[in-house]
A = this chain, B = another copy of it.
Amino acid sequence: MKALEEKILNEGTVLPGNILKVGSFLNHQIDVDFIMEMGVEIARLFKNDGVNKILTIETSGIPIAVAAAAAMHVPMVFAKKNRTGNISGDTYKTVVHSYTHGVDYNVVVAKEYLSRDDRVLIIDDFLANGKAIFGLIDIVTQAGAEVVGACAAIEKGFQHGGDSLRADGVRVESLAIIDSMEDGQIVFRR
């Protein structure tokens, strides 16, 4: 998505440790008019796939998931993270390792909000090593539902989570794919 690439170049900052800071529009301050356009683009990409539910993971996947769900007129579910192990109620559960924070999270979705009739599009703001999306796929699979695909706003191609997902047969659409950020220079995949 050309407009997103331009926005990343104009507003993004590359920080040490391969961190791309996009807090001005994507994950702290949200340029809502812009993410609604991203939602329309996601709806276009998956318009023939019978998606009837969108799944994301708290926190920063939520705005873009809302935008896509608004454009597709389907409900959205966000998986909840907790570190405590104390989870009440009847849930699907998986464990995701956060590379950024160096901890394992329990990730849960209440069973009542995912069923075998669901055709699920998984959405997140970033796709890096893919651990979060693999965890969400595990949850969808536990529910007997179908993963239609996964869509990230920004894929860090050099961290290879997208490659692993595609190698597993998952349809992955990322609105922008960054192949390298060496020396602060952002190079997009063509």
Does A182 belong to the interface (CB within 8 Å)? no
Does A62 belong to the interface (CB within 8 Å)? yes
Does A31 belong to the interface (CB within 8 Å)? yes
A78-B30 contact given A23-B110, A63-B62, A70-B70, CB 8 Å threshold: yes
**Which chain B residues lie closer than 8 Å to A76 at the CB level?**
29-30, 32, 63
User: Which residues in window 54-102 of A have CB below 8 A to B?
Assistant: 58-59, 62-63, 66-67, 69-70, 73-78, 80
What is the bound-complex CA distance between A143 and B43, given in angstroms?
37
What is the bound-complex CA distance between A62 and B29, given in angstroms?
11
Complex partner residue of A63 from B24, B35, B66, B74, CB under 8 angstroms: B66
Shortest A120–chain B CB gap in Å is 12
Interface size class of A (residues with CB under 8 A): 20 to 34
Complex partner residue of A74 from B24, B32, B35, B109, CB under 8 angstroms: B32
Select from chain B the residue with minimum beta-carbon distance to A67: B66
Q: Is B63 a contact of A30 with CB atoms below 8 Å? A: no
Candidate in A28, A32, A73 with the most chain B CB atoms within 10 angstroms: A32
What is the bound-complex CA distance between A79 and B21, given in angstroms?
16
Q: Is B29 a contact of A75 with CB atoms below 8 Å? A: yes
Q: Is B28 a contact of A110 with CB atoms below 8 Å? A: yes
Q: Can you give 13 contacting A-B residue pairs, CB < 8 Å?
A: A23-B110, A28-B80, A29-B75, A29-B77, A29-B113, A30-B69, A31-B75, A32-B69, A32-B76, A58-B59, A59-B62, A59-B80, A62-B63
